[in-house]
């Protein structure tokens, strides 16, 4: 299975950042990422930059995605963007259910499932995010919380063909804190088990499970070497192309 290295730019950047795919390519050197390698690179910029980034990424084998979408195709939803609209710009992925969307914008599991469903219908790959809070981890509820989120956030329409899961412990996002490698491995194994129950063992083995939360060039190699970690969702360290590149290179050794 390919490794997916995904940068979530959150609400950062301006149109001059359309040059970043080119900067990534220069930093990466030999084009070993992309179609013929074991690594896929994805950048998820703010919505106003998606078309420009798709253009800037042409010829660089870099995928562009959205950070969120509305569950409806069109309608009177001022300020929202639909999965179709993201696809219209040339996006190929969309993050749904990021913990900031869940905590700040009140998104529930069922909304996340509807968003993922609309993404699949628009032929985008949804990256469904799940993760426990610090209190939930400390009280031993992490497995249960993540399991419940996963079961309720994967839409009924999903057949496992186009689906990515991102495990992002809320307390690790933007804090510099990272679970132990054993804890990451155990959670990814738990997630794989839930995917097996839902989609069968064979299909579950093909679904990428990303880890997210304070991934940096210094810890990427160890995290990405874990058996059931098939990539990373990166916030802060994905704004800088040198550090995104260093993380991608950690995959290839």
Site residues (CB under 6 A) for ligand PGA?
8, 168, 173-174, 212-215, 233-237
Known catalytic residue: 48?
no
Query: What is the smallest separation between the CB atom of 245 and ligand PGA, expressed in angstroms?
Result: 15
Residue number with CB closer to ligand PGA (84 or 231): 231
- Provide the minimum distance between the beta carbon of 216 and ligand PGA in the complex, in angstroms, as a whole number: 8
Residue 137 or 199 having the CB closest to ligand PGA: 137
Which value, in Å, is the radius of gyration of the alpha carbons in the chain? 17
As a dihedral over the C-alpha atoms of residue 195, residue 199, residue 203, residue 206, rounded to 10 degrees, the angle is: -30
**167 versus 199: smaller Cβ distance to ligand PGA:** 167
**Catalytic member of 98, 114, 132, 188:** 98
What is the closest distance, in whole angstroms, from the C-beta atom of residue 166 to ligand PGA in the complex? 7
60 is catalytic: no
CB of 178 to ligand PGA, least distance (A): 9
The one catalytic residue among 107, 132, 168, 190: 168
Q: How far is the CB of 159 from ligand PGA (least distance, A)?
A: 26
Of 94 and 199, nearer to ligand PGA (C-beta) is: 94
Report which residue's Cβ sits closest to ligand PGA.
235
Closer CB to ligand PGA, 75 or 174, in the complex = 174
Cβ proximity of 198 and 204 under 8 Å: yes
Positions marked active-site: 98, 168
């Amino acid at each position: 299975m390919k490794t997916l290295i995904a940068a979530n730019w959150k609400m950062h950047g301006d149109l001059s950042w359309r040059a970043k795919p080119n900067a990534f390519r220069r930093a990466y050197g030999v084009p070993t990422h992309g179609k013929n390698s074991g690594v896929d690179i994805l950048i998820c910029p703010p919505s106003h930059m998606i078309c420009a980034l798709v253009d800037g990424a042409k010829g660089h084998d870099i995928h562009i995605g959205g950070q969120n979408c509305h569950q409806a195709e069109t309608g009177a939803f001022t300020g929202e963007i639909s999965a179709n609209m993201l696809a219209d710009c040339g996006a190929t992925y969309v993050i749904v259910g990021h913990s900031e969307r869940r905590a700040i914008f009140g998104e529930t599991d069922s909304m996340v499932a509807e968003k993922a469903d609309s993404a699949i219908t628009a032929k985008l790959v949804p990256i469904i995010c799940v993760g426990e809070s610090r209190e939930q981890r400390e009280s031993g509820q992490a497995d249960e919380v993540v399991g419940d989120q996963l079961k309720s956030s994967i839409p009924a329409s999903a057949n496992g063909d186009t689906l990515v899961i991102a495990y992002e412990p809320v307390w690790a996002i933007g804090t510099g804190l990272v679970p132990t490698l054993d804890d990451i491995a155990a959670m990814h194994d738990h997630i794989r088990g839930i995917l097996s129950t839902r989609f069968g063992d064979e299909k579950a083995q093909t679904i990428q499970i990303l880890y997210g939360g304070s991934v940096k060039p210094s810890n990427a190699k160890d995290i990405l070497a874990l058996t059931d970690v098939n990539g990373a969702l990166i916030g802060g360290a994905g704004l800088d192309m040198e550090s995104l590149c260093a993380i991608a290179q950690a995959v290839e050794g």
